[in-house]
Copies of this chain bind each other. A is one copy, B any other.
Amino acid sequence: MHTFALFGCGRIGQIHGANVAANQKCHLKYVVDVYQPAAEAAASKFNASVATIEEALADAEVDAVLICSATETHADLIVQSAHAGKAIFCEKPVDLNIDRVRQCLAVVKECDVPLMMGFNRRFDPNFAHLKNALDQGAVGDLEMLTIASRDPSAPPVSYIQSSGGLFRDMTIHDFDIARWLLGEEPVTVYASASSLVSPEIKEAGDVDTAVVTLTCASGKVAVITNSRRASYGYDQRVEVHGSKGMLEIKNVPESTVVVSTDAGVQAQKPMHFFLERYAAAYKSELECFVEGLASGNHTFPSGNDGEKALLLADAAVASLQSGQAVAL
């Protein structure tokens, strides 16, 4: 039985809180949020107590924390939690500044606490199935990887202003998946991107439509296509082209109902957004964290994975600014 404190009771915090509360190997003891009513609602819902960061970390019974608060608080919370000797699950990113990330990971290493980064897609049953098939040689050696990742609609500009922009808040998940599947670090990054979806995003200095090419030393290549808007829903597809064939993850439709009329043969849209599409992934992610804590075998995405994905995002930003491929 692991005892948790949850930092941050927003949308994603509530997902993790509910999963901890429902998991028979876990106990959610504290919830923490700068906005008191949110903390109280979560406490009531998950049968937990409201606490401050300090109170939660001071309780020796707490052996793990879930960091689901605002991005700019992640690094500090990681450092504090590490010093308190807690196992840490943290939503991406560690921080938007790579130096700060490195300092933070150094503390984690020094304190020798487990740190799992919340790259949820690896835990989706479809992604996991593809990875397993690839590892078992179903299509031979990977030669080319294509990731399509498109949100149903653009976030508010206020979000973009603090998110680090498209490459750091959205593509970062694709960078993680690319690294995970390639089995090799990219050595060059080239980004082509523009603002076609939203004038506000353009004014905020960000892009909303992007293609990023990652090339490895071995010649393997990955392409990521992103858009902040897919009118048909959350588009999350992967295609691995290997020496013996192709592996694909298709979208998950809202239902399997197909309607054939004189207008055509209509299947359902993909599940609308990440909360629905990755509901199982969030559960499985928590399981992996808990199993890792129990066994000491940490197979989950690490702080290093968070760092490497951020480096790719930074390189994509640099490529976009220079118009040229960036070597890593």
Interface residues of A (CB under 8 A from B): 22, 125-126, 129-130, 133, 138-139, 141, 143-144, 146, 148, 150, 188, 190, 192-197, 209-211, 213, 215, 218-221, 223, 225, 227, 229-232, 235, 239, 241, 243-270, 323-325
Contact = CB atoms under 8 A, between A and B. Distances in A.
A244 to B, nearest CB: 5
Given A144-B227, A192-B188, A269 B265 contact: yes
B247 A257 contact: yes
A250 B249 CA distance: 15
Contact of A223 (B225, B231, B324): B225
Contacts of A138: 259, 261
A258 B250 contact: yes
Contacts of A259: 133, 138-139, 245-248, 264
A210 B251 CA distance: 25
B231 A219 contact: no
Given A249-B257, A255-B126, A267-B265, A223 B220 contact: no
A257 B188 contact: no
27 contacts: A22-B22, A125-B255, A126-B256, A138-B259, A139-B259, A144-B227, A192-B215, A194-B219, A196-B219, A196-B220, A210-B221, A211-B213, A213-B223, A225-B241, A230-B241, A231-B243, A231-B260, A232-B261, A244-B262, A245-B259, A246-B261, A248-B258, A250-B256, A260-B269, A264-B269, A265-B266, A265-B269
Contacts of A268: 129, 264-265
> How many identical chains are in the complex?
4
Given A190-B190, A245-B262, A259-B247, A144 B225 contact: yes
B194 A325 contact: no
Contacts of A252: 256
A325 B255 CA distance: 36
Given A223-B225, A259-B138, A325-B190, A253 B265 contact: yes
Nearest to A125: B255
B257 A232 contact: no
A245 B257 contact: no
Given A223-B223, A268-B265, A323-B188, A260 B248 contact: yes
A266 B269 contact: no
A258 B213 CA distance: 24
A248 B257 contact: yes
A320 to B, nearest CB: 11
B211 A231 contact: no
Nearest to A264: B266
Given A231-B244, A258-B247, A211 B223 contact: yes
A322 to B, nearest CB: 9
B213 A209 contact: no
A146 B261 CA distance: 17
Nearest to A324: B324
A197 to B, nearest CB: 8
